[in-house]
Chains A and B, each alone.
Chain A
Amino acid sequence: MNSSYSVSLAGPAPWGFRLQGGKDFCLPLTISRLTEGGKAVKAGMNTGDIILSINGISSEGMNHLEAQNKIKACTGNLSLTLKR
């Protein structure tokens, strides 16, 4: 049973996670690594969680660079919905 949740990480970057995947890799956008003590860990994110949306924009169909750019463009709070 998948459960989805949302986090809001207070800016600025770094957010403390490694993003993996994207449409160009035929993989969902997932968290492949977390920085110990980083913002992502403190917000309760887990390795293996799939990113469903970035700042309200659905990640479906995003390639890796697009997702990377959307996250990098965020100077304030970063809102993510994820599922595990």
Chain B
Amino acid sequence: GEVEFARIMMLVDQNATGIVSFQSFIDFMTRETADTDTAEQVVASFRILAADKPYILVDELRRELPPEQAEYCIMRMPPYKGPGAPPGALDYTAFSTALYGESDL
């Protein structure tokens, strides 16, 4: 659940650049989940934070992630363009696949 996720995030090395912290988080997540597509696992992790919605909100990121990771995500995630999404909704799927440099189009 969310508490577990936050706990895991705290275990990751905090670095000055935040970008490396996020990478450490990714490494941690991929170590935990062998034999699966790594971009998929990142997407699944965000889906948990987003309570199963296809988009995530700025407030949710700030609430669930340590400040550097939250701001990194907020800065880098593209806006979610699907139907019914509120303004400010962010596309974590596009972000995650771009992180791995692989997107299914």
The reply to whether the CB of A41 lies closer than 8 angstroms to some CB of chain B is: no
Interface size on B, residues (CB 8 A): 12
Selecting from B1-9, B10-18, B47-55, B95-103, the interface stretch reads: B95-103
Count class of interface residues, chain A: 20 to 34
Say what secondary structure dominates the interface of chain A.
mixed
Bound Cα distance from A17 to B95, whole angstroms: 18
Q: A21 within 8 Å of B by Cβ?
A: yes
Q: Kindly state whether residue B34 has any CB partner on chain A within 8 Å.
A: no
A residues sitting closer than 8 Å to B (CB atoms) are 13-15, 17-22, 24-25, 27, 32-33, 64-65, 68-69, 71-72
User: 8 A-B pairs, CB-CB below 8 angstroms?
Assistant: A13-B105, A14-B104, A14-B105, A18-B105, A19-B104, A64-B103, A68-B103, A69-B78
